[in-house]
């Protein structure tokens, strides 16, 4: 399963390479997942133009490039060309990471989203952050502060059994904490908000809470605990 990260002591960000190489070994073909809602369904918080470009152009490009790179990687494997294998790994990590990140992101959003998390997820948030508001404040601050392109994540740390926030700048994938299972990601590449919010990233991050699919985050927490 693409989305189950069995990482150990490395930063989740760096660990994207492991499932990507696993994907290659399994010779999986990758395709762009359909959204379960219309491009305009998240308005006014994220407009249709952004959603359409983000999904049908940006995400699709990661998938295409992943397919192409994977084919080259298969050739290099078949030839026993280790140099070529090594040189393809950054492209695998980048495009495979982009595919995984966005596939999670779309399910983290919903036109019926917003509100507050319920049940076990709410209890875990209160335990680990003090309150839902405190989680939002902390994750917003960390996400807004990402230098350049990157992501803010709420993840589950299997070792401690706790929720953790981590922010990963694209340029610095090695920075972060220990292996986390991604539950909720906020994409703060400019392609995710610029057409609507221009350079005002904090307004985008503030608005996105209105469309977070907490049921999906809960499902991911349940799956991560198994
Ligand atoms: C991935 O590559 C395969 C084969 O190259 C292709 O059939 C498929 O359409 C590609 N997927 C996307 C989303 O481009
Ligand atoms: C995917 O997310 C990881 C973790 O935040 C990040 O390090 C990586 O740069 C992201 N990749 C893309 C292409 O968005
Ligand atoms: C939520 O995420 C899970 C993966 O844990 C996925 O299988 C499911 O379809 C998602 N649900 C919704 C409502 O998006
Ligand atoms: Fe993106």
Ligand 1 atom with the shortest distance to the CA of 71: 5
- pLDDT reading at 16 higher than 50: no
Q: Is 103 close to ligand 2, i.e. is its CB under 6 Å away? A: no
What mean pLDDT is reported for the chain? Answer: 87
Q: Is 107 close to ligand 3, i.e. is its CB under 6 Å away? A: yes
**Ligand located closest to 71 CA:** 1
What pLDDT is stored for residue 167 in this prediction?
85
- pLDDT reading at 119 higher than 90: yes
- pLDDT reading at 23 higher than 60: no
Q: Are strands 180-187 and 150-157 parallel, antiparallel or unpaired?
A: antiparallel
Q: How confident is the model at residue 11 (pLDDT cuts 50, 70, 90)?
A: very low
**Ligand located closest to 111 CA:** 3
Residue of the CA atom closest to atom 1 of ligand 3? 216
Q: Is 188 close to ligand 2, i.e. is its CB under 6 Å away? A: no
Q: Which two tokens stand for residue 28?
A: 């999986």
Residue of the CA atom closest to atom 2 of ligand 3? 216
Residue of the CA atom closest to atom 3 of ligand 2? 13
- pLDDT reading at 4 higher than 60: no
Binding-site entries: 54, 102, 187, 191
Q: Give the tens place of pLDDT for each residue, 72-114.
A: 999 999 999 999 999 999 999 889 989 999 999 999 999 999 9
Ligand 2 atom with the shortest distance to the CA of 166: 5
* DSSP line for the chain: -TT-----SS-HHHHTHHHHHHHHHTT----PPPPSS-TTTTTTTS-HHHHHHIIIIIIHHHHHHHHHHHHHHHHHHHHT-HHHHHHHHHHHHHHHHHHHHHHHHHHHB-TT--S---HHHHHHHHHHHSSHHHHHHHHHHHHHT--SSEEEEEEEETTTTEEEEEEEETT-TT-S-S-EEEEEEEE-SGGGTHHHHTT-HHHHHHHHGGGB-HHHHHHHHHHHH-
Residue of the CA atom closest to atom 11 of ligand 1? 31
Regarding pTM above 0.85, the answer is yes
Q: Give the tens place of pLDDT for each residue, 26-61.
A: 456 899 999 999 999 999 999 999 999 999 999 999
What pLDDT is stored for residue 168 in this prediction?
79
């Amino acid at each position: 399963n693409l989305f189950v990260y069995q990482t150990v002591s490395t930063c989740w960000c760096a660990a994207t390479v492991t499932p990507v190489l696993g994907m290659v070994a399994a010779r999986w073909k990758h395709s762009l997942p359909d959204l379960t809602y219309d491009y305009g369904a998240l308005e006014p918080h994220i407009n249709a133009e952004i959603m359409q470009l983000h999904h049908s152009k940006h995400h699709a490009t990661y998938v295409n490039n992943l397919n192409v790179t994977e084919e080259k990687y298969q050739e290099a494997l078949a030839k026993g060309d280790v140099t070529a294998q090594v040189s393809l790994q950054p492209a695998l990590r980048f495009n495979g990471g982009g595919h995984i990140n966005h596939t999670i992101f779309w399910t983290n959003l919903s036109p019926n989203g917003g509100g507050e998390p319920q049940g076990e997820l709410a209890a875990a948030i209160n335990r680990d952050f003090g309150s839902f508001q405190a989680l939002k404040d902390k994750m917003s601050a960390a996400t807004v502060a990402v230098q350049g392109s990157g992501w803010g994540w709420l993840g589950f740390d299997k070792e401690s059994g706790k929720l953790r926030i981590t922010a990963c700048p694209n340029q610095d994938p090695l920075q972060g904490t220990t292996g986390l299972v991604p539950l909720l990601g906020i994409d703060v590449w400019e392609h995710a908000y610029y057409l609507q919010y221009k350079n005002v990233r904090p307004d985008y991050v503030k608005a996105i809470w209105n469309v977070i699919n907490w049921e999906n985050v809960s499902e991911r927490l349940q799956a991560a605990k198994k």
